[in-house]
Structure 1
Amino acid sequence: MVRHIHSLRLHALGRLGWARGAIGAALGIALSGFATWTLLSGHQAHALPFLVAPLGASAVLVFCVPASPLAQPWSVIGGDLLSAAIGISIGHLIGNPWLGGSIAVGLAIAAMSAARCLHPPGGACALLCALGAGGQVPWDATLMIPIAANVLVLSSFGWIYNNLTGHAWPHVAPPPPAPVPQSTRDHVIAVLEEWDEVLDVDVDDLDAFVQAVLRRRAS
């Protein structure tokens, strides 16, 4: 029983425990909403949302998996804002929410990939904005104000919170304890090319992990 309680405590309070991510995400969303509501105080506050739903998915990535390439600052900021702009533009251009939403998500993925800021919640931003822009009461470019405020505040708090809790953000791959006799990075890249899959982890992180495992095995 004591061992089970100790295990639960480690899962909750460990370096990437669920409690750390949950607290960070809750605070990040709260601060983003408050800052955006304050920015929009006045007549605009009734016409524009102070929080957008895709921000919740961004918070999961930023605070729960801060080492992920999909959760880095440029991915969060560039991915969400670029996709939102595409969604609004396509929604107005196409008019039909179903067709506009489909095209917007596809274009957003292509644009994020080209700009090296792939961020899954960006797809949600593109779809949300395309549906709104193609609806009966079309959303316009002013929707970018709360989205930008949400994303920038969440990213700023994520930078503070992650670094204060021991996770460099933007993420920096940890150096291996000591070099192994044979370089592993080229082998890691070769295996990834053979698998022909995209893994949600940086090549340098994989290389450091493999080297650390080999070093530990040899010791």
Structure 2
Amino acid sequence: MHIEVSMFHWSQLFAILAGAAGGAIAIASMAMFAASAAFPLAAIPFATSIVAVFGSPKSDPAQPRALVGGHVVATLVGLVIVKLCGPTAWAAAVAVGLAMVAMHLTKTFHPPAGIDPLLVVVNDMSWSFLIAPIAVGCLLLVTFAFAWHNLVARGPNRGDTWPVRWW
């Protein structure tokens, strides 16, 4: 049996390392924000979004429309369900399912946002959760990702820019 191991080109390796560095800095920033705002880090649902945006920046779920829209739509669904049904396990399940449908219908499908309605329902979050951390966090993540991908991480990947499309 022969197993072929493909070698990365230096430019591919640079892109991977630059994405990893950007992701690490974004996570560290998120942790510092959580600590300064006395907001539990586990309630800030951006870790997997950071992995998508920095690790796979050309994918559809890593584009700003999906990133921002997915988190906002999924959180709204969670808030409506928790206000109508209360913080129960079955309500959380319904909220996640409905959030998936809503993200597809609005063309904002962002799989990492699937945790948002679960967090909202289980923790019985208030409407202010939509503003902070969701809306503010999304805008900060988009701003940081744009700067990182277009100013810092380009190196040998001069033709690579993020986002592929804004809307």
Query: For 2:101 and 2:142, how far apart are their aligned partners in 1?
Result: 23
Please tell me whether the aligned partners of residues 79 and 122 of structure 1 are also in contact (alpha carbons under 8 angstroms).
yes
Worse overlay, 107-116 or 58-67: 107-116
Give the secondary-structure state (helix, strand or coil) at the position aligned to 1:124.
helix
Q: Secondary structure at the match of 2:43?
A: coil
Measured on the aligned residues, the alpha-carbon RMSD in Å equals 2.4
Matches within 5 A, 1:42-53: 45=38, 48-49=39-40, 52-53=43-44
Runs of 4+ that moved beyond 6 A: none
TM-score, normalised by the number of residues in structure 2: 0.78
Q: Which residue of 2 aligns with 1:22?
A: 20
Partner of 1:143: 129
Percent sequence identity is 32
TM-score for both structures, normalised by structure 1: 0.61
Describe the SS at the equivalent of 1:90.
helix
Instruction: Work out whether 1:171 is the aligned partner of 2:164.
Output: yes
Q: What pairs up with 1:50-199 in 2 under 5 angstroms?
A: 52-133=43-124, 139-144=125-130, 145-164=132-151, 165-166=153-154, 167-171=160-164
Q: Distance in 1 between matches of 2:29 and 2:146?
A: 13
**Structure with more contact order per residue of length (Cα contacts < 8 Å, sep ≥ 6):** 2
Q: 1:36 Cα shift?
A: 6.0
Unaligned runs of 5+ in 1: 1-6, 134-138, 173-219
| Counterpart amino acid of residue 161 in structure 2 | A
Show structure 2 runs of 5+ residues with no match. Answer: 1-6, 155-159
Matches of 2:53 and 2:99 in 1, distance apart? 20
- Letter of the 1:147 partner, please give it: I
User: 2:122 is paired with a residue of what secondary structure?
Assistant: helix
- Tell me whether 1:13 sits opposite 2:13 in the alignment: yes
Cα offset, 1:71, TM superposition: 0.7
